[in-house]
Amino acid sequence: MDRKLYGLKKEKLSHFRLYWHDTVTGSNTSPVLVVPPDNTSTTAFWMIRMIDNALTLGPEMSSKLVGRAQVFYAQASQQEIGLLMAMNFALIQGKYNGSSITVLGRNTVFSKVREMPVIGGSGLFRLNGKHMLEMLRGKRLVFIGDSLNRNMWESMVCILRNAAKDKSKVLKPLAKKNLKQKIPILLCLRGGEWNSGGRCDGETEPLTEENQFENDPSMVKILESVLEEMKTPIFYLNVTRMTNFRRDAHPSIYREKDLPEEEKRSPLRFQDCSHWSPRSS
């Protein structure tokens, strides 16, 4: 990335090294089995384990303890040995004491190089609001969407406000008008348009291939073509596209407790596809 193009200053990097001790074979393994694998699967599909391992300064187990690696992972692939991992590295020594790093993503065990995304942190590793304010200086950041996007916006505003030196300059304009515009309705996972019936419960696995769901609607393609032609660079994050794979994440009838069977099958009242179904959000 050309940092001069975006007006970014020189990065300040912190380098540190630690060792994660994980014993996966032998009589004293560190992962604890929570859910056993499917006996018919060659990839140990659906096996779930938990880990609470030592983080040390050196490669030896006797090296100084600096934290804990607390991990939840599942065998998430039916085709290969592939893990879905949620990892939290909690540090307990030195200037990083009380800080943590969170990693979430796919781990293809037999790949020579495995890269996983760092999705968050706390303490010294939390989002640098001051750095983001500098990145946004003279620019606009726009959240477009429904109440879910509003949640993201409010969270971001809180982070950036805390980073502002003079909080009296943080303004909150009060809009008095709502903009309403008819747009094409996207399709729900099953059952047609979001308000025409159908069900989205019962989905237990995410989609794995892009050809399993519809292409982006024509309006999205028009938007992308216009953005490419603009002189002022604009970057947008298509959240709907990102979440298309997670059909199993729809809360559906499970967002309410003790629903009668009749109400469980009433999608207009309880399945809330307009918010949660990736096809219609």
Q: Which residue has the tokens 């348009």?
A: 193
The domain locations on the chain are 19-125, 129-166, 185-281
pLDDT in tens, 10-57: 666 667 788 988 888 888 888 888 998 888 888 888 899 999 999 999
pLDDT in tens, 154-165: 888 888 888 888
Question: Which range has the worst mean pLDDT, 87-91, 95-99, 112-116, 258-262?
Answer: 258-262
Count CB-CB contacts under 10 A for residue 12. Answer: 7
**What is the Cα–Cα distance from 223 to 6, expressed in whole angstroms?**
22
End-to-end CA, the chain: 31
Number of H helices, E strands in the chain: 7, 7
Q: What percent of the chain has pLDDT over 90?
A: 13
pLDDT in tens, 106-157: 888 888 888 888 888 888 888 888 888 888 888 888 887 766 677 778 888 8
Nearest in space to 67 (alpha carbons), one of 87, 93, 34:
93
- The reported pTM is 0.50
Residue 1 has pLDDT above 50, yes or no: no
- pLDDT score for 187: 41
DSSP assignment of 96-117 equals GTT-EEEEEEEEETT-SS----
Residue 3 has pLDDT above 70, yes or no: no
- pLDDT score for 194: 45
Structure tokens at 69: 């690696």
Question: Which residues, at least 6 apart from 35, have a Cβ–Cβ distance to it below 8 Å?
Answer: 46, 47, 48, 74
**pLDDT: which is higher, 59 or 219:** 59
| Burial annotation 120-155 (CB, 10 A radius, 16+ → b, else e) | ebeeebeeebeeeeeeeeeeeeeeeeeeeeeeeeee
Residue 201 has pLDDT above 50, yes or no: yes
177-183 long-range contacts (CB < 8 A, ≥24 apart) are 183/219
Q: Which helix (H) or strand (E) holds 240?
A: helix 239-243
Q: Which residue has the tokens 């006996």?
A: 39
**pLDDT: which is higher, 4 or 161:** 161
